[in-house]
Amino acid sequence: MLCAEICPIIKNNMDMNTYKKVSAKVLSVMILFMLTVNLIQAQEFNLTNGESTLTILGTSSLHDWHIDAENQSGKISFKNVEASQIEKIAIDIVAESLKSGKSSMDKNTYKALKTNDHKNISFQLAEVKNVISKGNGAFAVTATGYLTIAGTKKLIPLDFAVNITKSSVKLTGEKKIKMTDFNIEPPKALMGTITTGNDITIKFSTVFK
C-alpha cells in the first residue's frame, strides 16, 4: 500500500526507465523491512498454558503429595533463537491455581502461600551462565533467576533443557527448594498431627509459541 501511494508521485516526476529502477528499489526496501520485522517478532514467544505443566512435589508425615499449576503466563525472548541465546524469561503462576484435588489441602497451601496478599508466584531470568548445544535444536542451559513466592524474592541457580523447533520453544527441568527459604511455614493438617516436609521439588515443562 505504501508503494501504491508513493510510486505514482515518483512516476509523475521522472521518465519510465528511471521510474522502474526507483520502483524496484522502493519495493526491495519494503521487502527487507518486512523480513526484518518478522525476524524481530520471531525472537519472542508467549507461554502456552494448555501445553505447559508445573508440578510441586513434597512429603508429609502421612504420605507424599503433589499439586499442579493450572494457570500460567509468560514470555521468552532471544538475542538469537537458533543459538538459544536467551535474553529474557518471565513467568507468572496464579497461586490459587495450584490444585491437589483435595480442597482441604489446597486451603492449607493457600494459607501458607499468603495468597490473600500475594496472588502470583513468579520467575524472572537474571543471567544465563552457560549454553551447551546438544544438536537438533536441543540445548542445556545453566542460569540464575529471581524466584518470588509468598512475597519473598530470592536469586536461585537453575539448570534446564531447551528444545527449539520452527514454531515453539520448550523448557524442561526441576528445582529443589526449602519452603522456609521463602519464609513459608510448612502446612499442617488435622490439628497439627500431619506435618509437611520442608523440602519440595518443582518440576516444569513450559511451552512457548
CA separation (Å) from 24 to 8, 21, 33, 40, 76? 13, 5, 14, 24, 37
Q: Identify the DSSP state of 182.
A: G
Residues 6 or more apart whose CB falls under 8 angstroms from that of 96 comprise 110, 115, 119
Measured distance CA(187)–CA(111) in Å, rounded: 8
- Looking at the domain 44-208, which fold is it? Lipocalin (2.40.128)
Strands (E) located in the chain = 44-46, 53-58, 65-69, 72-80, 85-94, 98-99, 120-135, 138-149, 152-164, 169-178, 188-189, 194-195, 199-208
Q: Please report, in tens digits, the pLDDT of each residue of the chain (209 residues total).
A: 445 555 555 455 555 555 455 455 544 444 444 444 444 445 999 999 999 999 999 998 778 999 999 999 999 999 999 999 999 999 999 999 999 999 989 999 999 999 999 999 999 999 999 999 999 999 999 999 999 999 999 999 999 999 999 999 999 999 999 999 999 999 876 555 578 999 999 999 999 99
- Over residues 30-41, the pLDDT tens digits come to 444 444 444 444
Q: Please tell me the distance from the alpha carbon of residue 130 to that of residue 87, in angstroms, as a whole number.
A: 13
Of 206, 100, 106, residue with least CA distance to 158: 206
- From CA 42, how far away is CA 167, in angstroms rounded? 9
Ramachandran region, residue 85 (left: φ > 0; alpha: ψ -120 to 50; beta: rest) = beta
Q: What is the pLDDT of residue 31?
A: 44
pLDDT digits (tens, 9 = 90+) for 49-75: 999 999 999 998 778 999 999 999 999
Query: Distance between CA 110 and CA 99 in Å, rounded?
Result: 10
Q: How far apart are CA 19 and CA 23, in angstroms?
A: 6
Domain ranges of the chain: 2-40, 44-208
pLDDT number for residue 3 = 53
Give pLDDT, residue 40: 42
pLDDT computed for residue 29 by the predictor: 43
pTM metric for this prediction = 0.78
Q: What local confidence, expressed as pLDDT, does residue 85 receive?
A: 97
CA distances from 206 to 99, 102, 109 (A): 18, 25, 23
Give me the pLDDT at residue 203, please.
Answer: 98
pLDDT of residue 12: 56
What is the rounded CA–CA span in Å between residue 48 and residue 171?
Answer: 12
